[in-house]
Structure 1
Amino acid sequence: MSNVYCSVYGLSGAAVSSLVGIALVGIAFSTDNWQHIGVNRSYLSALNISEINENIHSDLRYFDRVRGLFRVCFPFELRPKIDGKLYLNPVEEWCTNVDYQMKIMDGPLLPSRITHNAGLWFHFIRTSVAGFICYFMLTGVACVSGLIGCWRASGDNLISTSILMFLASLTGGLGMTFWHVAELYELEKVKDEKLEFFLTWPDYLQKATHYSVGWSYLVAWIGVVFTLASSLFFLSSSLCIRKELKEIRRRNENLSNKNRINLESYATLQAEGGLRGFYLAPPTQPPPLPLVNYYSGPFSHPQSNSFDNISHDDIYMNGLFKPKELVDAKL
């Protein structure tokens, strides 16, 4: 990368990657496709169990659904009957909220009479959401710091922006990690009838249900990676700007030293009685011109090709030689 455009390329990459990263994480945070939960209803219907026949048209667990950080939605044709628990989300899908028991945050941190693993699940999933909130806070501060650094061409501001973006990517990554841990606990650790997680379901429903990640999950990871890349871009651009400013200062110092030397020389020559020793003064009379006589005239000598007997004043005053002829004169 050229030194001239190093900071330009770095800032361009930082701006693009940071905006893309924040946008992707924001999209993932607000959408409900983190997890796809599929249910084999044909398998359940073939079992011909009375409990299944009672719940297959009303229980939410018996329908294909998608899950996000805050909602469980039913975007497919088959969905449960509309009741007070379901509402339309911004994209016109029927959803229900994931209950994090946030209403009790002003009192006990956890619901009463739950198992230890269930309490850990609450801590993990809440920490995941808190990690993403910290991500948006840090990226907001980093954007302001980055704009100030670009406007002032300040390497210190850009390094601060790089650190903030790195911390943002770290908190985003921690949010993703805690979401994974919460999912692991939900599927394999928590067996609490009060929460109705996977391990409390009937065996036939567990066999008929399969989980897979959705596009929101992938978009979130891509956004975190872009945020980390923007941190590296900001760091490289800050180093480039520092290098460029150092080079500019070096050139200014050299120019200042050169001007100082010239001024000192001028003052010395002025003190010695004039500028003749500094600038080449014109001679008091033209120097002798050893020219070949190519012309005949009143000043020509038939026996000689020299102008030894002709004065310089005669040569210049009578216009015997033109400038080109003076240049082309032969010794």
Structure 2
Amino acid sequence: MGACTTTMIVIATILGPITLVFMSVSFGTNFWVQFTVNVASFNKTIRDRTRTDVGFARYHLTRDRGLFRECYPGNETEFLDKATGVVDDYCFNINYDQPSNVQNPSDSYMTRLHLNRSFLAFFVVSIALFVIAYIFGLILCCLRAARWAYVAGIVSYSSAFFLAAAIAFFHGAEYIERNKLNGGPNSNEAQFYPSWEQYLKDATTRQYGWSYPLAWVGMILATIAATFYSLAGCYIASEFYEDEEVLHKSRHRNYPGPVDPVYAIGADPYYTKHYGYPRAFLGPLAPDYYARTYPAIGYGDPRNDIWHWREVES
């Protein structure tokens, strides 16, 4: 096994758990989108309403949103004491089903919901595929066969593709949320940006959290690991073919062939009598074509025995 092949397999194997850490942390944390709201800019009526009206307060306060939860880490969260379905004291689970209180949802609302579902599903598939690719990479470390390297590379590339598609679905849902859902302040779309009052738009700052770039880093690392797996497979295959070529050439070397004695024409038949042609002993593993036959043993004058040698087919 060449040094280049070993180096690539080692690098890909090391990148495996690092990539899984980035993917898993991005998947499980709640900092994909962060909304920072300047509550001090609101008048007293709005601030009082954020303490009592749960539905109103959920988009009037600072919050962090992930794949599964939307959390309110600020101090002005008195509305949580009256809210139902609170998780970990300051979070709400994100529902990927159509809420029961939403009647006659618009096409944009349902499209956003389906994009969010695709976002979650593709992310799960991406992590599962990379776990499978890493298992194939461990098998490659033991067997050193090109097919395992190619399989690990293809599955890793598929994982990176699914993660990139998941991020694309996330941006699609985000675009609809910010530009299409404008049903008015009294509709079920009041929580989305186009339906906000101007004072709320001015007081809210929206940005991506650190969970979002972790997903991109995981996708890039998965692509790099897939590339190293594929290159290792190419090197292993090339080394295999080189070994096959050397072996093929060695099988066609011009080894000296066995010879068979030919007696002089006209010699006395008495002298041609012999005990046979015993095989030379070369050990139990010696090939047949290394064997040499001994010349015939005559009874007459050795000086009258004229020997001629010729090649015989083995």
TM-score normalised to structure 1 length = 0.70
Q: Is the 8 A contact 2:5 2:232 kept in 1?
A: yes
The CA deviation string for residues 35-88 of structure 1, in whole angstroms up to 9 with x for no partner, is 1110011222xxx352x1332334122221111011111233443443323221
Counterpart residue number, 2:309 = none
Q: Distance in 1 between matches of 2:289 and 2:145?
A: 40
Partner amino acid for 1:23? Answer: V
Q: Bigger shift: 74-83 or 25-34?
A: 74-83
Q: Is the 8 A contact 2:258 2:293 kept in 1?
A: no
Counterpart residue number, 2:283 = none
- Equivalent of residue 231 in structure 1, options 226, 247, 263: 226
Q: Bigger shift: 225-234 or 77-86?
A: 77-86
Counterpart residue number, 1:284 = none
Partner amino acid for 1:176? Answer: I
Counterpart residue number, 2:71 = 73
Q: Is the 8 A contact 1:60 1:80 kept in 2?
A: no
Partner amino acid for 1:87? Answer: V
Q: 1:56 to 1:237 in 2, by over 3 A?
A: same
Q: Distance in 2 between matches of 1:77 and 1:30?
A: 24
Pairwise CA distance, 1:151? 2.1
The CA deviation string for residues 280-301 of structure 1, in whole angstroms up to 9 with x for no partner, is xxxxxxxxxxxxxxxxxxxxxx
Q: Distance in 2 between matches of 1:267 and 1:176?
A: 68
Partner amino acid for 2:165? Answer: L
- Equivalent of residue 206 in structure 1, options 174, 197, 201: 201
Q: Is the 8 A contact 2:39 2:47 kept in 1?
A: no
Q: Distance in 1 between matches of 2:140 and 2:256?
A: 38
Counterpart residue number, 2:38 = 40
Backbone CA RMSD of aligned residues:
2.7
Counterpart residue number, 1:169 = 160
Q: Is the 8 A contact 1:63 1:80 kept in 2?
A: no
Partner amino acid for 1:57? Answer: R
Q: What is the 5 A alignment of 1:33-112?
A: 33-44=31-42, 48=43, 50=45, 52-58=46-52, 59-83=57-81, 84-88=84-88, 94-101=90-97, 112=103
Pairwise CA distance, 1:19? 2.2
Q: Distance in 2 between matches of 1:219 and 1:194?
A: 32
Q: Distance in 2 between matches of 1:235 and 1:79?
A: 52
Q: Distance in 2 between matches of 1:53 and 1:86?
A: 21
Q: Distance in 2 between matches of 1:263 and 1:77?
A: 96
Counterpart residue number, 1:280 = none
Q: Distance in 1 between matches of 2:258 and 2:7?
A: 43
Q: Distance in 2 between matches of 1:57 and 1:183?
A: 28
The CA deviation string for residues 204-230 of structure 1, in whole angstroms up to 9 with x for no partner, is 112211100010001111001100111
Pairwise CA distance, 1:243? 1.4
Q: Distance in 1 between matches of 2:98 and 2:236?
A: 47
Matched, 1:253 2:244: no
Q: Distance in 1 between matches of 2:26 and 2:290?
A: 74
Counterpart residue number, 2:181 = 190
Q: Bigger shift: 141-150 or 14-23?
A: 141-150
SS at match of 1:270: coil
Q: Which runs of 5+ in 2 are unaligned?
A: 260-287, 297-314
Equivalenced residues, count: 258
Counterpart residue number, 2:135 = 144
Q: Is the 8 A contact 1:55 1:62 kept in 2?
A: no
Q: Which runs of 5+ in 1 are unaligned?
A: 105-110, 275-331
